[in-house]
Structure 1
Amino acid sequence: MNARRALALFAALCVLVAVAVGLLVSPNPPGALDNWAYGRVDGLSTGLLNALVLPTEPYVLIPAIAVIAGICLYLHRRRDAVLAVAGPVLAVALNTWALKPVFDRWKGGTLVYPSGHTVSLVAVLVVVVLLVRLRMAATLVSVVLLGCGAVGMIGLGYHYLTDIAGGACFATGVVTALRAALSLRREPAQSSG
């Protein structure tokens, strides 16, 4: 199996998991897993929780996207620059305008499944993982950042753990699918003789 097909298959699997989790949780109140997660972070200081959620904020992520795209353009990697911008934008747009209304899961007057904070963060992190050479190190840093963000979001009452899991799967699926689509090679022009 070539790399593009593997990415496309992985992307489809991630989106299917996000949809499956959404179908399980959207009509129901928070389950045992969500309550367990909240119980683990309940009592942490608001200052700590605000610091942990910082990587999910637009004023952090938008400049990060601009820097990543700028580096890609400087290195003459136009497709990677497109991925850096379009991946997060597409993931957030689809999540906001399609998935959240479809799953209709509410918390405190806000649609929460899949987590938009998570989709934003994970989309940028997946772009980084796909573009850098030190993928294992980037993956480990990404997992730590996602874990920190998850603790902050749950502790501040923004999201349930299942919202975060769905958001992570969905963002990963969208960005890897876009990477697979951008990897399509152009056919060479036919010679006229």
Structure 2
Amino acid sequence: MTCAAIMVVLGLLVSGEGPSVPDEVAVRWVERTFGGDTGLLELLVLPTEAYVLIPVAVLAAVLCLIGRRRPEAALIIVGPLIAILANTWVLKPLFGRWKYTYLAYPSGHTVALVAVLTVLVLLARPGVATAVISAVGAVVLCGVTIGMLGLGYHYLTDVVGGALFAVATVCATWVLLSWAARRRAPVPSDG
């Protein structure tokens, strides 16, 4: 709930606007640090591509199905899908923040990546697996952010808004799927 509220407030602050001061500072830092190395920047953005994310999600869903974890398999598919569709069809038009010729807030690249990463963190066994996935995900997101800023795809605030929305949507979807699974679970007979 907190992530969604912050995303909305941030969206209202940047709605219809160009870059904010933090956006400009972040872009200048990326330009100074990484220059015009478009090859590196494109490599950093690679994890947001559908041909990377879809196989990861399908593999995770198959593993859940093999382990008879149907609600978890459903989350892997439904969570990111809801986040991506709601972002594209509702949030981007609602906030109306343009970058060049396309709507930019919240970042769809970020929503797709963070939705899949959030599912993986939620479904990992508590302990080392969760810590490793979280750490790797944070590093990947930092790299993706640098790539998107350097290539001019998004402002920093677009990335932050996309990450917040993805986390909020996947977590809400997980709560609903868990609730539905508990309601459908057979009740043991007491007599």
Superposed displacement of residue 41, structure 1: 1.2
Gaps of 5+ in 2: none
The alignment-based identity, stated in percent, is: 51
Deviations 1:113-164 (A, max 9, x none): 0000000000000000001122111111110011011001110000000000
Deviations 1:71-120 (A, max 9, x none): 11111100000000001100000000000000000001000000000000
Answer yes or no: is 1:178 the counterpart of 2:173.
yes
SS at match of 1:114: coil
Segments of 4+ in structure 1 off by > 3 A? 187-191
The more displaced of 125-134 and 158-167 is 125-134
In 2, Cα distance between equivalents of 1:81 and 1:190: 25
Report what 1:145 is aligned to: 140
**Out of 146, 160, 167, which is 1:165 matched to?**
160
Superposed displacement of residue 14, structure 1: 0.9
In 1, Cα distance between equivalents of 2:61 and 2:153: 29
Deviations 1:27-79 (A, max 9, x none): 32211100011011111400000000000111111111111111111111000
Quick check: 2:3–2:165 contact (8 Å CA) kept in 1? yes
- Match of 1:144, as an amino acid? V
Answer yes or no: is 1:25 the counterpart of 2:14.
yes
Count of paired positions: 182
Report what 1:8 is aligned to: none
Report what 2:74 is aligned to: 82
In 2, Cα distance between equivalents of 1:66 and 1:120: 14
Answer yes or no: is 1:40 the counterpart of 2:29.
yes
Gaps of 5+ in 1: 1-11
Normalised TM-score (structure 2): 0.91
Superposed displacement of residue 180, structure 1: 1.1
Answer yes or no: is 1:111 the counterpart of 2:103.
yes
In 2, Cα distance between equivalents of 1:155 and 1:15: 27
SS at match of 1:30: coil
